[in-house]
Amino acid sequence: MMKRHPDILSARQESHLYRLIYKPFTFVPQMKRAKRLQKRLWFLKHYGLLPLIFGASSQDTWRGVLRSYRLYEHGGEVGPHTIVGFEELKTLIQSVRQQSEPDLDRAKRLIELIFDRYFQLSGGESHHIFMEKTPMHIDCLDVILEQFPEAKAIIVTRDGRDVCASWQARAKTQKWARRSTEDLIRLWNKCADLSQKFQADAELRDRIRLVRYEDLRKQPDIELEALLSFVNLSASSDRINRIIDQLDINKIADKGEGQHIRKGKVGDWRETLSDSDIHLWQTQAKESLLRLGYSV
């Protein structure tokens, strides 16, 4: 909805840049042999045989960025290939690696260069706000807000049980969505905990807004107006109503089981999840569900 505002310039898809470029330098070079062997299939795919045996150097980790790019590219829908070309990424990596900085600072510099380049090539001007949406960038939210002092973050939360129902449906057509219920609960709990942590940070809380998916469905006009105001933008009631009408899920033709857009229904988990899945959610995620205002 926010993308429809004329002063917002948005990345086409989730870029996953912090997951691809920044996060590996926080753990890959430090991974012990036992941990590498435990994750050997993943490690081989991203970094190769010699780093698996002897450990990953800085150079190995940078090469892994390019290998991971190709894996994302093969996956198709989301990833760094939606925001930067492979050859351009190679050139930018060579440029930042010439700087006498720690790898984590080089990684942040690279991400900033990619965003700047995309913004310029997309016709970005001084009045535009650049928007990027990668859900798991919540892992690095404090890093992002520190790196970009003018930035703000919007965290969208949804009842984890509906999230689970959505993932189970998506798993019918997408391998990445084939995760166990226990794994999804761990991931959802982790994101809920990170959200709480960052909102409790006195230096960050005023730059973060939490919005519930259920509220967006119930009163989209009020929520959209509030979100635009949060990033210092405004829109007439007519424009807001047009945006909501254009994006009405009932008018979207290409939706259904296994599609990116399915139902968008609140409380669908009651009809979709098995009794055992519901039990797992209501025992293993009870605290987070209640804290976010969902009944158990």
**Average of pLDDT values for 125-132?**
96
Give residue 188's pLDDT: 97
Give residue 157's pLDDT: 95
Considering the domain architecture, whether residues 294 and 232 belong to the same structural domain is answered as yes
Total domains in the fold of the chain: 2
Give residue 138's pLDDT: 96
Give the pTM.
0.91
Considering the domain architecture, whether residues 102 and 167 belong to the same structural domain is answered as no
Domain membership of residue 199 (yes or no) is: yes
Q: What percentage of residues in the chain have a pLDDT greater than 70?
A: 100
Domain membership of residue 54 (yes or no) is: yes
Spatial distance between the Cα atoms of 223 and 155, rounded to a whole number of angstroms? 13
For 198-214, what is each residue's pLDDT tens digit?
Answer: 999 999 999 999 999 99
pLDDT at 87 over 80: yes
Q: What is the CATH number of the domain that holds 247?
A: 3.40.50.300
Considering the domain architecture, whether residues 176 and 287 belong to the same structural domain is answered as yes
Give residue 252's pLDDT: 81
Contacts for 80 with CB less than 8 Å, ≥ 6 apart: 15, 16, 17, 20, 21, 69, 72, 89, 114
Q: Cβ–Cβ contacts within 10 Å for residue 106, how many?
A: 22
pLDDT at 142 over 90: yes
Residue 67 sits in which domain range?
1-131
Domain membership of residue 171 (yes or no) is: yes
Considering the domain architecture, whether residues 61 and 7 belong to the same structural domain is answered as yes
Domain boundary among 131, 161, 192: 131
Domain membership of residue 58 (yes or no) is: yes
- Asked if 86 and 79 touch (Cβ cutoff 8 Å), the reply is no
Domain membership of residue 139 (yes or no) is: no
Residue entry with tokens 């899920």: 249
Considering the domain architecture, whether residues 65 and 190 belong to the same structural domain is answered as no
Give residue 192's pLDDT: 96
- Asked if 109 and 98 touch (Cβ cutoff 8 Å), the reply is no
Residue 228 half-sphere exposure toward CB, CA atoms < 13 A: 23
Domain boundary among 101, 131, 161: 131
- Asked if 125 and 39 touch (Cβ cutoff 8 Å), the reply is no
Q: What percentage of residues in the chain have a pLDDT greater than 90?
A: 88
Q: Give the chain's end-to-end CA distance (angstroms, integer).
A: 30
Confidence of residue 74 (pLDDT cuts 50, 70, 90): confident
Considering the domain architecture, whether residues 295 and 160 belong to the same structural domain is answered as yes
For 20-36, what is each residue's pLDDT tens digit?
Answer: 999 999 999 999 999 99
Considering the domain architecture, whether residues 41 and 103 belong to the same structural domain is answered as yes
For 153-176, what is each residue's pLDDT tens digit?
Answer: 999 999 999 999 999 998 888 888
Give residue 263's pLDDT: 81
**Average of pLDDT values for 259-277?**
89
Confidence of residue 106 (pLDDT cuts 50, 70, 90): very high
Considering the domain architecture, whether residues 188 and 243 belong to the same structural domain is answered as yes
